[in-house]
Amino acid sequence: MKFRRPSKPSRKNSRRQKKQRSLRTNLHAPDALNRLSILRYERLEDRTLLSITQTFYVANPAAFTDTGNPGNQGNPHNGDTVTWNGGGQFTSPVAGLTYGTNAFGSIQAAVTAASSGDTIDVAPGTYSEQVIVGIGNLTLDGAQFGVNATGAGRGTNESVLDASGISGKTPLTINANDVIVNGFTVENQTNVNIYNTAIFIEPAHHGTHVVDNIVQNNMTGLFLVNDSNSDQAVVQDN
């Protein structure tokens, strides 16, 4: 039986190992942290970040079906499991919602819960509230969204923002960029203050779309200032 003598490492490999040992020896804590930070940065660069958007559902409390606590029917409590029954252009109910989380009895409560990119679907009914939208890239769809307000195809089921219950003040104020308001009726703004209108779009914002809305019986219908030449506001089919 022949025994093979272990081969000596080549000079090239020996120099490489010495260099690696030297590098490990001379790598102080701050250098190590910087090296780890660089590695982490490189990995994040390769990662695709996903933007998650949500839809929130609004109806008058009595219009929800409370499936989680039938004893609260007509008056759901936060945490109850409910079904949103839609209406108008919303032809399909949405079940399994949690009242106070993604289902609400007022538009403002849904706006407060929402983030940029989200959508708020508002069922037919009358909403006497002052809604202030301070979140950009938000879509508010009323029950007649997508239906020209001046055409014959408009249905009778409307999501109505009614200012008569708030002393004729502004029912909808937009204080953000790229907000879409589609398919509502906004009415009964009677306050004579110059800044009280049915729909008030704050200055220094842009890209608001006000489309397919009935704006009626108001002292002033719309106040609009758009501060961008490239991201224009759109007001049409109202």
Q: What is the pTM of this model?
A: 0.78
Q: Could you give the C-alpha distances from 125 to 15, 185, 188, in angstroms and in order?
A: 81, 10, 15
**Same structural domain for residues 23 and 84?**
no
Does residue 53 or residue 35 have the better pLDDT?
53
What is the torsion angle, in degrees rounded to the nearest 10, for the CA atoms of residue 31, residue 36, residue 41 and residue 44? 180
Phi (first) and psi of residue 141, to 5 degrees: -110, 120
**Same structural domain for residues 97 and 211?**
yes
Q: How many domains does the structure of the chain reveal?
A: 2
Instruction: Give the integer Cα–Cα distance in Å for 136 and 213.
Output: 20
Q: Could you give the C-alpha distances from 74 to 57, 61, 97, in angstroms and in order?
A: 16, 6, 15
**Same structural domain for residues 93 and 173?**
yes
Question: Which DSSP symbol is given to 171?
Answer: S
Which residues form the domain of 16?
11-45
Structural domain includes residue 50: no
Instruction: Give the integer Cα–Cα distance in Å for 106 and 114.
Output: 13
For 2, the 3-state DSSP assignment is coil
> Which tens digit of pLDDT belongs to each residue from 172-230?
999 999 999 999 999 999 988 767 899 999 988 999 999 999 999 999 999 988 777 88
**Same structural domain for residues 97 and 18?**
no
**Same structural domain for residues 199 and 143?**
yes
Instruction: Give the integer Cα–Cα distance in Å for 118 and 51.
Output: 10
pLDDT value at residue 227: 73
* Candidate from 11-15, 91-95, 159-163 with smallest mean pLDDT: 11-15
Given CA atoms 148, 151, 153, 158 in this order, what sign does their dihedral have?
A: positive
Instruction: Give the integer Cα–Cα distance in Å for 52 and 146.
Output: 24
pLDDT value at residue 142: 98
Structural domain includes residue 208: yes
Supply the mean pLDDT for the chain. Answer: 84
**Same structural domain for residues 97 and 157?**
yes
pLDDT value at residue 42: 44
pLDDT value at residue 187: 96
**Same structural domain for residues 19 and 134?**
no
Does residue 134 or residue 49 have the better pLDDT?
134
**Same structural domain for residues 40 and 64?**
no
Q: How confident is the model at residue 8 (pLDDT cuts 50, 70, 90)?
A: low
User: Does residue 152 surpass a pLDDT of 90?
Assistant: no
Structural domain includes residue 15: yes
> Which tens digit of pLDDT belongs to each residue from 170-181?
999 999 999 999
pLDDT value at residue 17: 52
Does residue 205 or residue 4 have the better pLDDT?
205
Instruction: Give the integer Cα–Cα distance in Å for 170 and 186.
Output: 10
> Residue 150 has which token pair?
């001046």
Structural domain includes residue 32: yes
Q: Stretch 131-138: mean pLDDT, rounded?
A: 97
Q: Stretch 6-33: mean pLDDT, rounded?
A: 49
**Count helices and strands in the chain by DSSP H and E runs:** 3, 18
Query: DSSP E strands: which ranges in 59-208?
Result: 65-66, 81-84, 94-98, 103-104, 119-122, 125-127, 131-133, 139-141, 159-162, 172-174, 180-182, 184-187, 199-201
Instruction: Give the integer Cα–Cα distance in Å for 235 and 224.
Output: 10
pLDDT value at residue 90: 97
pLDDT value at residue 25: 43
> Which tens digit of pLDDT belongs to each residue from 75-107?
999 999 999 999 999 999 999 999 999 999 999
User: Does residue 46 surpass a pLDDT of 80?
Assistant: no
**Same structural domain for residues 91 and 165?**
yes
Q: In a 10 Å sphere around its CB, with 0-12 CB exposed, 13-18 middle and 19+ buried, how is residue 118 labelled?
A: buried
**Same structural domain for residues 107 and 163?**
yes
Structural domain includes residue 1: no
Q: In a 10 Å sphere around its CB, with 0-12 CB exposed, 13-18 middle and 19+ buried, how is residue 44 labelled?
A: exposed
pLDDT value at residue 229: 82
User: Does residue 38 surpass a pLDDT of 50?
Assistant: no
**Same structural domain for residues 99 and 178?**
yes
**Same structural domain for residues 117 and 67?**
yes
